[in-house]
Amino acid sequence: MSVHTPLGAPGAATGRQALLRQDAEGLFPGGVNSPVRAFRSVGRPPLILTGGSGCRVQDADGNVYLDYIGSWGPAILGHGRQEVVDAVRGAALNGFALGATSPLEIELAQRIRAAVPSMQRMRFVSSGTEAVMSAIRLARGGTGREIVVKFAGGYHGHGDSLLVDAGSGLATLGMPGSAGVTRGAAHDTIVVPYNDRAAITAAFETYPGRIACVIAEGVVANVGVVPPDPEYLEWLRAFTASSGTLLILDEVISGFRVARGGAQERYAIAPDITTLGKIIGGGMPVGAYGASRELMALIAPEGPVYQAGTLSGHPLAMAAGIATLDLLTPDVYEGLERAGARLEAGLREAAAEAGREVAITRVGSLLTVFFRSGAPTNGAEALASDRDAYGRFFRAMLDEGVLLPPSQFEAWFLGAAHSDSDLDATVAAARRAFRA
């Protein structure tokens, strides 16, 4: 890859990217196939990325950037890791989806169960969204109840029942948060503030015996990184168990990232149901949900809860996942923790030197720089951050050759390919960007 050359002024469109953006806008809503890729909240035209190697990506005009998006999490080893590429190539030579169970599905599931013991049995699906939708169906089927409790600011994919507004911040039945979602679909979802024990207690008192499950991210990471308060997840685990309600831990982001066993290893809890996403496929389209043997026995064809998928357990995704998980050794996690601490400390120092008031939150290799005073403890506080200030910071960092998530409310993803010199270069760029 060539050395990074700065982009033009914000909003400029030059070179091959401009032509590709024009074509994309005629083909896709907003010119993208997922909204965050549009870069609209940071005031820049979307990048058209053509390749990645290690911790760097390249755009269609040949500019190279230090990457902290990391394919939104799964590029924990870096882009194009040779062992993973070789595994996918080998699987492809045997054909793609063959329409029956592959030995690779069994191999990957064994590795996942060893790392996440609460997933005694599991089912592979094609995305994290699909995993969450299936987990909620299983929770309702297993309890005979209908109501789902989620946390304001928690994102669990675009399933209808979870696209709801936070309302007043008290325990209220959800209202649709997207056009096309009916009141009926959202009606049985309750939204409460994160890290708020009283709100959870009030919801259960208001709807006794009716709540099927509480779903929580292992680490809140879709309003930026918001860690759980000390012992909050442990309390939530005990509270739901005492109420006959299932706890779903959405580890689509935190799984195999904040620890090999995810947030449930880091915080020493065992949820009833776990959902995992694309990291278990090394960036290939994949997801999984799992639970105890007894609960998973409710899934068809053994039980009455139906769920199916033609491409579930796709051999290429399974091969990539096996290779990725085999490379995630204890040394890798120790290195990620050190890298996260080094970057966090450097950014704090850079912000202080610039006189910039920011709050930096981190869990392992997940990090967010919030443009606000004080670290947020829930979604509402996170959303009060200064989005315009983040946009200026993002643009300045991009001009320095550092690609951050194009939203104040997304996590930075560090990977094993980020060297100390890469982290130091990022901090040096931030010293200048904080003054922008």
Query: Which H or E run includes 331?
Result: helix 330-354
* Secondary structure (H, E, C), 294-340: HHHCCECCCCCECCCCCCCCCHHHHHHHHHHHHHCCHHHHHHHHHHH
Would you call 244 exposed, middle or buried from its count of C-beta atoms within 10 A (0-12, 13-18, 19+)?
exposed
User: Does residue 185 surpass a pLDDT of 70?
Assistant: yes
Instruction: Please state, for a pLDDT cut of 70, what percent of the chain lies above it.
Output: 94
pLDDT at 157: 87
**Residue 14 pLDDT greater than 80, yes or no:** no
Beta-carbon-side half-sphere exposure of residue 395 (alpha carbons within 13 Å): 19
Question: What's the pTM?
Answer: 0.93
**Active-site residue, from 65, 68, 155, 232:** 155
Domains of the chain are 15-67+331-433 (3.90.1150.10), 82-327 (3.40.640.10)
Q: What is the pLDDT of residues 18-64, one digit of tens each?
A: 999 999 999 999 999 998 999 999 999 999 999 999 999 999 999 99
The residue with tokens 């609209």 is 40
> How far is residue 42's CA from residue 433's CA, in Å, rounded to a whole number?
14
pLDDT of 279 reads 96
> Facing residues of 173 across strands?
190
Which of these is catalytic: 67, 188, 267, 278? 278
Residue 62 is predicted with a pLDDT of: 96
Asked about 150 being catalytic, the answer comes back as no
Given the residues 67, 196, 250, 272, the one annotated as active site: 250
Q: Which residue has the higher pLDDT, 169 or 27?
A: 27
Length of the chain: 436
Element (H, E) at 402: strand 402-403
Residues near 352 by beta carbon (within 8 Å), at least 6 away in sequence: none
How much is the average pLDDT of 123-131?
97
* Better pLDDT: 18 or 170: 18
Q: Average pLDDT, stretch 318-334?
A: 98
Each residue's pLDDT tens digit, 350-392? 999 999 999 999 999 999 999 999 999 999 999 999 999 999 9
Q: Where are the beta strands (DSSP E) in 272-385?
A: 273-276, 287-291, 359-363, 366-370
Of the spans 154-163, 182-191, 255-264, which averages the highest pLDDT? 255-264
pLDDT of residue 169: 31
Residue 177: pLDDT band with limits 50, 70, 90? low
Contact 418, 77 (CB under 8 A): no
Instruction: Name 208's bridge partners.
Output: none
Considering only 37-46, 176-185, 265-274, which range has the smallest mean pLDDT?
Answer: 176-185
Q: How distant is the alpha carbon of residue 338 from its chain centre?
A: 21
CA–CA separation, 433 and 184 (whole Å):
46
- CA 199, distance to chain mean position in Å, is 25
